[in-house]
Amino acid sequence: MRLVDTHCHLTFPQYDQDREELIERIFSSNLAWVLNACSSLDDIAPMKDLAMRYPDRIFLSIGVHPHYAEGLSDRDYALIKEELASFDYKAVGEVGIDLFRNLSPLEAQKEAFSKFIQLARDFDKPLIVHSREADEVVVGMLKEADLGGRFVVHCFSGGVDFARQILDMGGMISVTGNITYKKSNGIREAIRYAPLDKIMAETDSPYLAPQIIRGKRNDPSFVLEVYKAIAEIKSVDLNRLMDILYRNAALFFEVNL
């Protein structure tokens, strides 16, 4: 039994009071490793510190969330290139388009997403995609990019139609605790539709706590609730699902099996 959380944010301030205790606790269970996703340049130093103190348990991606796309400069992209050249990041992300909060203009988001797609290509890394109320834009840009399936739409919140378009491009979908919410029928239908080898599980913690702790701080240990939901939807034994999703994540992020 080996669990993997393929998207969390352990450097976020919600963990400032008990980060070390939390990390020790989550890795004393069945959690094998996590992918700590970068959302801003401010994440880089603290998340590298965590990764170096917990080798083979905390892996990293690098990117900038679309909320902050407007403020990115040529110097910022140069810094990210330097990081990709000098540190073993497992992916570029999280990057993409967010039309729910619109904290950066759409054109700025598209420009940033395009540049990060090129960085993923240049450094031969998979891409972690953020898409919120932006499915059409994201699909169009991913089709144009033709990444050969080396991308995952994280925190998947679409339905079967969006899932079909992602899967037709060879991409993967990753679901969070929101799959356990009563009104998330579209997400559950998408998971029912998707092949097991195209699914990953995450927490996106400290956000999107599963139903059993909804409204409270989430953490990577609760990825088990996501696994349970997927197992029920797919009518698969939980232990077998753990093996399948572990392999999916390990192959996608090139982590040793």
Residues 7-55 pLDDT 10s: 999 999 999 999 999 999 999 989 999 999 999 999 999 999 999 999 9
DSSP state, residue 169: T
Cα separation values, 40 from 46, 114, 125, 167, 237, Å: 11, 17, 18, 28, 38
The yes-or-no verdict on residue 1 having pLDDT over 70 is no
Give the CA angle between residues 209, 155, 232 to the nearest 5°: 70
Q: Tens of pLDDT along 50-88?
A: 999 999 999 999 999 999 999 999 999 999 999 999 999
- What rounded mean pLDDT belongs to the chain? 97
The pTM score is 0.97
AA identity, residue 237: D
CA pair distance 208, 237, nearest whole angstrom: 25
CATH number of 3-253: 3.20.20.140
- Report cis status (omega within 30 of 0) of the bond before 82: no
Please state, in angstroms and as integers, the Cα–Cα distance from residue 42 to each residue in 22, 39, 150, following that order.
21, 8, 26
Contact call for residues 152 and 127 (beta carbons, < 8 A): yes
pLDDT, tens digit (0-9, with 9 covering 90-100), for 145-165: 999 999 999 999 999 999 999
Domain ranges of the chain: 3-253
Mean pLDDT of 100-123: 97
